[in-house]
Amino acid sequence: MTMTITTATTSATTAAKRRLRGVLASAAVSLAVTLAGCATPQASRSTTALPLDQAAVQATDALMAQTTGMAGFLSKRSLVLDPMIDAGTGQQTVATQTLQRRVADRLAAGHDTVQILPFRQDNLAKAAYLLTGTLSRQPAGVAGPLTIRLALTDVRSGSVVAQASALALTQGVDATPLAYDQDSPVLAQDRVIDGYVRTTATPPGQRADAQYLGHLAAAPVIDEATTLYNAARYQEAFTQYNAAGASPAGDQLRVLSGIYLSAVKLDRTAEAEQAFAKIVDYGIRNKQLGVKFLFNPGGTAFWSDPKVSGPYAMWLRQIAGLSTQAGACLDVIGHTSRTGSEPVNDALSLQRANVVRQRLVAESAVLGERTRASGKGFRENIIGSGTDNAVDALDRRVEFRIVGCGA
């Protein structure tokens, strides 16, 4: 009897141990799954080039796939989309607008865990996530596909939670800048725009760029102002750009250029000159100022259309005067678009730089000792299309680099 009882007790104990081991094993599997879900996702990168529409869908799906293990995406969460840009220029183009629409459409149609809110200040304050995106070309003169980069940033923590990239074929892609970027007197790519670009390439788990985040509060107002400018609603754009400029986050080249452009369109000559002076001051403070002085094809005369070249005398007067006041020394660097032979363009870019330098010295004789001219031909093209139209206007710029006076 005792033996029977002992055997039954032992069997029960053994069974209990087996059940416990099973529970522990199941718990271990569950814990592993949970930990895997909490692990930082890996950025996604596609190596197959697709048409832009398809590549945008591919990048969007890859980005959202990284959020499947995130607790915040188990229920519907809101995001705002900071308008997408060309990574090389900071410009909004027909192509970046197309990319933005395709990404937004894919999120709305295929990912019901997110709600896209309009990019406004009130929505930026309440949205959980921020979506940024860029379209990048190959280096000027190099054939190859475009690169789409998307990043999703947690608004509260400032950390990137997902990042994806895909390749897009260049066929059928329209890189024409929108009206604001076509009209802008300068390349509006400053530290904030550079920070936006860096954010779209930031791996998950790392913080988004500090310069970009630090100036984010003004971004919805700038976007609204730029939309108004592109719609030829210049008075409203002027008001909005000034509102952005009055905020601590408004010290940006996009704002200064927007105030200048809107004032020009409204025939507010004095205010336009004051705005351009602030653009020049910003460039001197940040050691670089790329100005779009356009020349007649193949020559050193400024563009014949007075609507284009009419402000150049004022631009040169402000650059000369503020450089003199700041005690700055300048490298005046000429660039050409990718048309014609390299030796011809090298010579032409130097000649154009000398024309601008001579005009500066005529405004302020002291700059004769503080300036030097050089030509880069098309070796430092930003666009590199060689179309000689609005698409590659930035390639036909004269750039001022602030250098040490003993350099």
Give me the residues of the chain with pLDDT under 50, please: 1-17, 19-37, 74
- The answer to whether residues 82 and 131 touch, using CB atoms and an 8 Å cutoff, is yes
| Assigned superfamily of 287-407 | OmpA-like domain (3.30.1330.60)
pLDDT digits (tens, 9 = 90+) for 16-30: 445 444 434 443 333
**Where are the chain's structural domains?**
44-194, 221-271, 287-407
Tell me if residue 30 falls in helix, strand or coil: helix
- The residues, ordered by sequence, that sit 6+ positions from 385 with a Cβ below 8 Å of its Cβ are 175, 337, 338, 391, 392, 395
pLDDT digits (tens, 9 = 90+) for 165-189: 999 999 999 988 999 998 999 987 8
> Looking at the domain that runs over 44-194, which CATH code has it been given?
3.40.50
Q: What confidence score (pLDDT) does residue 30 get?
A: 36
Q: What confidence score (pLDDT) does residue 10 get?
A: 41
Tell me how far apart the 2 most distant CA atoms of the chain are, in Å: 120
- The answer to whether residues 381 and 89 touch, using CB atoms and an 8 Å cutoff, is no
Q: What confidence score (pLDDT) does residue 4 get?
A: 28
- The answer to whether residues 91 and 137 touch, using CB atoms and an 8 Å cutoff, is no
Q: What confidence score (pLDDT) does residue 169 get?
A: 97
Which of 386, 186, 214, 388 lies closest to 291, judged by CA? 186
Q: What confidence score (pLDDT) does residue 407 get?
A: 58
Same fold, 44-194 and 287-407: no
Q: What confidence score (pLDDT) does residue 37 get?
A: 42
Q: What confidence score (pLDDT) does residue 141 get?
A: 65
Q: Quickly tell me which residue has 């997902």 as its tokens.
A: 162
Q: What confidence score (pLDDT) does residue 283 get?
A: 92
Q: What confidence score (pLDDT) does residue 36 get?
A: 38
Average pLDDT, the chain: 87
- The answer to whether residues 102 and 86 touch, using CB atoms and an 8 Å cutoff, is no
- The answer to whether residues 257 and 276 touch, using CB atoms and an 8 Å cutoff, is no
